[in-house]
Every structure is written in structure tokens, then in C-alpha cells.
Homo-oligomer: A and B are copies of this chain.
Amino acid sequence: VTLPPQADAETGGTRPRTIPEASVTRLALYLRVLGELAKLRKDLSYIGSYGIRGVGYEVVSLSVELGRALGLDQMQSVALVGVGNLGHALAGYPGFGGRGFPVTALFDVDPDLVGIRINGIVVDHVREIPRVCGERNVTIGVLATPAQAAQAACDLLVGAGVRCILNFAPAVLQVSADVEVRKVDLAVELQVLAFHNARRHGGEHPGAVAGTGGTRGHSESGHGVNGHAVGRVGGTR
């Protein structure tokens, strides 16, 4: 199969009068994507030359290469520590299991939680981390514990050989240099949203945003800051 870049530019033959609602939704997405085509090709070129000149990209082989570049060919296996509300939600989040990161182990300290099954996986006690992570070849640890339990859980994972930690707990972790930790702050996007909103509707504020200049008037996760450049800022420009 090949990806014909202008699949939607019908030539003008017979066509149904009405466009299905679901299709309209996707068309809006395509429009946005279309505006980023140059960037897309550049991005793909960074992982190598896997397209066919004059034709397009062969979907299967491109997918394979993209997956390889993203490390998805390396059989990831995720352990999730902390099965409270957030952990429970993450265990069932489609973006985890569905995109190459199967959650294969769950841990908690709460006796009420240890033993229950979530999505077919039994919750083990945190003290089992060394054994279970070894057995299931865990490569990524996700922390969804309360703040005060995060460091201990992290240490257990690292001790079990896990070298990638995704930290949802509101705590800063201390790890040795060979471990990569990424901290997720669920409120950051909220701040950004409030910031943009303050400029659009709110009272006058100093400063003016640098502005991406090129937003194509779309309303997704955006920039779209209205340029009421009230007040003064960095003098430049």
C-alpha cells in the first residue's frame, strides 16, 4: 500500500451528495496535517531514507522503521507502581497498551489492592518488584504513587534493573546518571491554557508573546494568542 498525498482531491466524477459526519471530522484533521507536510518529510528524513522517490512512502516498511527509531521494536514492558486512581486509570489508558507499551506488572502496598486484577494483571506487593520485574523483563517503570512513596518505589525499580522511569508523582526523584527520569506534571497544560486565556479575554497584561506567526487559524492545542500587545516588553521588534 502507498500513501497518496492528495487522496482527497477527487477529480470530479460521481460522488455522494452528503459527506459522512465521521468523515468530516477526519477531513478537518487532514487539513491541519496538510499544513505540516514539509515538516513531516523533514522529520522522516532524520531517521533515514525510507521513501520511494516519485511514488511515496510504503506504509508497512515506513512503519517498521519509525517503530524502530522510537524503540518500539525492542519489546517494551511496563511496570506500574501505585494503583490508586491515577495508576488505575493509567493501567487502562489505551495509549499505553495500544501503542507498544504493554503494562505487564502492577504494584502497590495497600493490602486491599494487592491481589486484585486490573485488565487481567494481578497487583503484587511492592516488595515483589525485584523478582517480578526480573521475570517479566520490565524496561520502563511508571510511578503513580503518592509523593512521599515515590523515591522508595523508584529505588526499588532501579534496583531491579529498570533504567527508564516515567514519574507522575508530584516529587523530584534522585537517581544515578544512567537512569532517565521524565516527570509528568498534569497541571502544566492547565497553566498554559490559563496563560493564553488571560491574554485573549483577561484584563490588560504586560509583555507580548513571541508568536509562532504561522498558525493556520485552527483551534486545536494551540498557540493562537491574540496579539493585544499591551504594555511593553523586551524592546526588541
Q: How far is the CA of A192 from the CA of B221 in the complex (A)?
A: 18
Stretch from A11-19, A54-62, A124-132, A194-202 that touches the partner:
A194-202
Check A206 against B48 for contact (C-beta < 8 Å): yes
Check B85 against A225 for contact (C-beta < 8 Å): no
Q: A28-B174, A194-B76 are in contact. Are A186 and B222 (CB under 8 A)?
A: no
How often does this chain occur in the complex, in copies? 2
Interface size range of chain A in the complex: 35 or more
Check A139 against B177 for contact (C-beta < 8 Å): no
Query: What are 29 residue pairs bridging A and B, where the CB atoms are less than 8 Å apart in the complex?
Result: A25-B172, A45-B233, A68-B205, A71-B199, A71-B202, A74-B202, A86-B89, A94-B147, A95-B190, A99-B187, A139-B197, A140-B197, A163-B200, A164-B193, A165-B193, A166-B190, A166-B193, A175-B219, A176-B219, A177-B219, A179-B219, A180-B197, A180-B224, A181-B220, A182-B193, A183-B220, A185-B225, A188-B224, A221-B226
Residues of A participating in the B interface, judged by any CB pair closer than 8 Å: 25, 28-29, 45-48, 65, 68-72, 74, 76, 78, 84-86, 88-90, 92-96, 99-101, 139-140, 142, 147, 163-167, 170, 172-177, 179-203, 205-207, 217, 219-226, 229, 231-234
